[in-house]
């Protein structure tokens, strides 16, 4: 299906690996021009080379630490300087530590909130005026199913994701007057490097072998498998396209039926 995204300008944070990189690949396959950021410049350049070689589109890499407001501003200004506009913003950068409540330190809480929650808020705030002036734009927040379905030993991430659910809804209210659609995507556990790290931390907290813990955890999945990052990317591209022009203020959970709450 042609989603009509050819030559659209798409900003994606945290796009050097994992879900963010997969999202970038899907948009690139649709012919969009990309501006991507990550903290690790080497991984970022590697991702850019792969995208440009495989897809033949323009990719702007911006090394940025989204815990720093100046870097947020740099990411947006570099994109506008290069392309003139921002059509789509995908907020994806950020993760939270797993582990037992009593073992999570204050700085781990603070760092996670600053990177993911404030990172999404600040980047949306910087992009918003550019979209508002054109009365056109789309913002997609990659959140996480733990915001609705709490996971044991994942309290920090669950709290941040719950806050981002509210932020997404309220940003949609702000955007509706200006033709800016805002939606969220809440992936469940996804087959990325981040998942491998979580398995090690979760199994340690449970006092189990990582392979044993993962096998037991997988048996709780209705589809008995993780999501592939490209599946999240496909959903993001659809929500950003005019094919989804009447979808607004919604958070779509993509977790294979793992979330049981309404």
Which residues are known to be catalytic? 154
> Which tokens sit at 110?
């603070």
Distance CA 219, CA 201 (A): 19
Q: Is 71 left (phi over 0), alpha (psi -120 to 50) or beta?
A: alpha
CA-based R_g, the chain, Å: 18
Q: Please check whether residue 168 is in contact with residue 182, taking contact to mean a CB–CB distance below 8 angstroms.
A: yes
Q: List C-alpha distances in Å: 256 to 7, 188, 218, 223, 252.
A: 32, 8, 12, 6, 12
Distance CA 117, CA 110 (A): 10
| Three-class HEC string of 148-215 | CCCCCCCHHHHHHHHHHHHHHHHHHHHHHHHCEEEEEEEECCECCHHHHHHHHHHHHHHCCCHHHHHH
């Amino acid at each position: 299906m042609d989603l009509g995204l050819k030559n659209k300008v798409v900003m994606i944070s945290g796009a050097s690996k994992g879900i963010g990189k997969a999202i970038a690949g899907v948009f690139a396959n649709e012919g969009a021009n990309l501006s991507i950021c990550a903290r690790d410049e080497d991984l970022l350049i590697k991702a850019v080379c792969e995208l440009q070689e495989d897809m033949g589109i323009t990719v702007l890499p911006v090394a940025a630490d989204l815990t720093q407001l100046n870097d947020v501003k740099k990411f947006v200004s570099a994109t506008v300087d290069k392309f003139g506009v921002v059509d789509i913003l995908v907020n994806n950068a950020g993760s939270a530590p797993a582990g037992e409540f009593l073992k999570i330190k204050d700085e781990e809480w603070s760092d996670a909130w600053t990177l993911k929650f404030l990172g999404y808020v600040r980047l949306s705030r910087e992009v918003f005026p550019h979209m508002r002036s054109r009365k056109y734009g789309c913002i997609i927040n990659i959140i996480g199913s733990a915001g609705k379905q709490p996971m044991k030993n994942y309290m920090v991430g669950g709290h941040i994701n719950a806050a981002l659910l509210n932020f997404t809804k309220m940003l949609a209210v702000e955007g509706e007057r200006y033709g800016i659609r805002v939606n969220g995507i809440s992936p469940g556990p996804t087959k990325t490097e981040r998942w491998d790290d979580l398995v090690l931390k979760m199994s340690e907290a449970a006092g189990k072998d990582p392979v044993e813990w993962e096998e037991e955890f997988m048996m709780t999945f209705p589809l008995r498998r993780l999501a592939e990052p490209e599946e999240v990317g496909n959903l993001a591209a659809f929500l950003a396209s005019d094919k989804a022009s009447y979808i607004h203020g919604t958070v779509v959970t993509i977790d294979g039926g793992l979330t049981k709450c309404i």
